[in-house]
Amino acid sequence: MSLAPDEAPVEFREGEYGERVATVEPGGIEEIPDSDRHGKPIQLLWTWTSPNLEFATVFVGALGTLFFGLTIWQALAAIVLGNGLGALGQGVLSARGPLYGVPQMVLNRAPFGYKGNFLPAGIMSLTGGIGWFAVNSVSGTFALSSLTKMPDWLSLLVIVLVQVLVAFYGHNLVQAYERFAFPLLAVVFFIACVVSLSHSGAGTAKGGGGLGGFLLMTAAVYGYAAGWNPYASDYARYLPRDVSSKTVALYAGLGLFISTTFLEFVGAAAASSWDPNANPTTAWIAVMPTVLAKVTLLAIVVGSIAANVLNIYSGSLAFLTLGIRMKAHLRRAITALVFGVAGFALAFSALKNPANKYEGFLLVVSYWLGPWLGIVLADQWLRKGRRVDGLLYSRVHENWVAPILFLVSLVVSIFLFSNQYGTYVGPIPTKYSSVGDITFFAGFLISFIGYSLLGKKSKAPASV
């Protein structure tokens, strides 16, 4: 079929890959040809469960009772709300993976344009491939250090080397790791959580954080769950084109919601008896029998790797959408190596004060996700099912409404609503402390409404 002036033919990934695990995935961000599609939607259940079965998830829940002044039940309400929103976005975005066979940040070119997409793709590369990588490496490092008594820097090095190796090989090895880690992590964390809850004194947290603490907790929880949204189609794009979109969305959303909600609730309950100044990993396992404590530490290491192979892999895919030129058959693998080195440096700097840096990082992540998600969902709604294949690899397709609105929404929401104590507190939370931090919600509404009014109600592309 003929192409519109701002369209281009789809670029298909070259090379044979199939279901081989011990083979470096060829190519980078090209569409996966139908002949190489494989898998079933249920695999997304463990793809999005395994990376959240780690101590970092437990610690997100602990923020509510340790730092935000919530009771356990107030924290649970914030956990359910934040994770529900994050899982909803994960399901909607994952459903597009099999339809187009491309990474999430390539789909992002439809609303943002080729050059305009550099902005969210660049941010995602930094927050995912380096930022989240560092966050999860720290939790794995503490666990490995507690288990082996190795110095923190050496434990971090071991963790990073394993993560980079898996991500270097690519999609099939990443999916295989998540699948085999799933039963181990599910069993160990379930037992550890039961023991932890039995010693937590659930209901003893006094609260006092009020509405402000609740909104801060909701934003932090959402930032953790929705941090996976920009990765959504990356792990659904190899599924056959004719799989059920609803089934894909269901498994992706459930995997994310169940794992994060359960572990964060345990963290909120268990943290009521923790010493806020102690190593959080050590504080959590202190009430466990010796054997269970050691197995749990091992599971934390396995879980942090499960999370970070996704971070490096997707971060490298996002980076490639910036138009970086390198050898076709190794460009994604080489980028994964670079991100691993940068993530190691950032993680090393965070080892001395993880709690404060973690809380701030979660909130900042949610800041950019709100405006981005608002534009992506509004564009999808405006197109009403029309395909966008011809726009995904066109270097002349531009829609400057999206990146400009993204920046406006980001700046306005941060200026008015940010509540980063010690860094910046906007005029709204300064005057009304009870609003907590609703930067994400403000950014999402501004961008969604703005794009719905200003965005192009695009006609269906001629190519499909």
What structural domains does the chain harbor? Answer: 34-343 (1.10.4160.10)
Which phi-psi region, left, alpha or beta, contains residue 296 (left: φ > 0; alpha: ψ -120 to 50)?
A: alpha
> Could you tell me the two tokens for 280?
């959080």
Separation of alpha carbons 202 and 194, rounded Å: 12
284-305 in b/e form (b: 16+ CB < 10 A) is bbbbbeeebbebbbbbbbbbbb
Q: How far apart are CA 339 and CA 122, in angstroms?
A: 13
Q: What is the DSSP secondary-structure string of 416-456?
A: HH-EETTTEE-HHHHH-GGG---HHHHHHHHHHHHHHHHS-
From the CB of residue 35, how many other CB atoms can be counted at a distance below 10 Å?
Answer: 9
Nearest to 236 by CA among 353, 102, 138, 115: 102
CB of 221 closer than 8 Å to CB of 264: yes
Q: What phi, psi does 425 have (nearest 5°)?
A: -125, 120
Helix (H, G, I), strand (E, B) or coil at 255: helix
State how far the Cα of 282 lies from the Cα of 270, in Å rounded to an integer: 12
For the beta carbon of residue 152, count every other beta carbon within 10 angstroms.
16
For the chain, 464 residues long, the average pLDDT of each consecutive 10-residue run is 70 85 87 94 96 87 85 92 96 96 96 94 81 77 87 88 88 95 94 83 59 85 90 96 96 97 90 68 80 92 91 87 66 64 64 57 76 94 88 92 96 89 82 80 94 69 39
Question: Which residues fall within 8 angstroms of residue 13, CB to CB, at 6 or more apart?
Answer: 26, 27, 28, 30, 31, 32, 33, 36
Could you tell me which of 250, 266, 277 has the C-alpha nearest to residue 202?
266
- For residue 28, give the nearest of 236, 464, 307, 326 by alpha carbon: 326
437 contacts 214 by C-beta, under 8 angstroms: no
Six-digit token string for 139: 């939790």
Q: Residue 65, exposed/middle/buried by CB under 10 A (0-12, 13-18, 19+)?
A: buried
What gap in Å lies between CA 363 and CA 420, rounded to an integer? 8
CA–CA separation, 195 vs 197, rounded Å? 5
Predicted local distance difference test score (pLDDT) of residue 459: 41
Report how far residue 355's alpha carbon sits from residue 261's, in angstroms, rounded to the nearest whole number. 20
What are the percentages of helix, strand and coil residues in the chain, rounded to 5?
70, 0, 30
Q: Do the beta carbons of residue 447 and residue 119 sit within 8 Å?
A: no
Please list, residue by residue across 340-369, b when 16 or more beta carbons sit within 10 angstroms of its beta carbon and e when fewer do: bebbbebbbebbeebeebbbebbbbbbbbb
Contact 300, 139 (CB under 8 A): yes
State the number of CA atoms in the 13 A half-sphere of 381 facing the CB.
12
pLDDT at residue 463, as a whole number: 38
Burial of 384 (0-12, 13-18, 19+ CB in 10 A): exposed
Q: How far is C-alpha 450 from the chain's CA centre?
A: 25
> According to the model, what pLDDT value does residue 424 have?
84
**E strands of 219-363, at which residues?**
none
Is the dihedral angle over the CA atoms 96, 97, 98, 100 positive or is it negative? positive
Angstrom distance (rounded) from CA 403 to CA 418: 21
The values of phi and psi at residue 113, to 5°, are 80, 165
Do 32 and 55 contact (CB within 8 A), yes or no? Answer: no
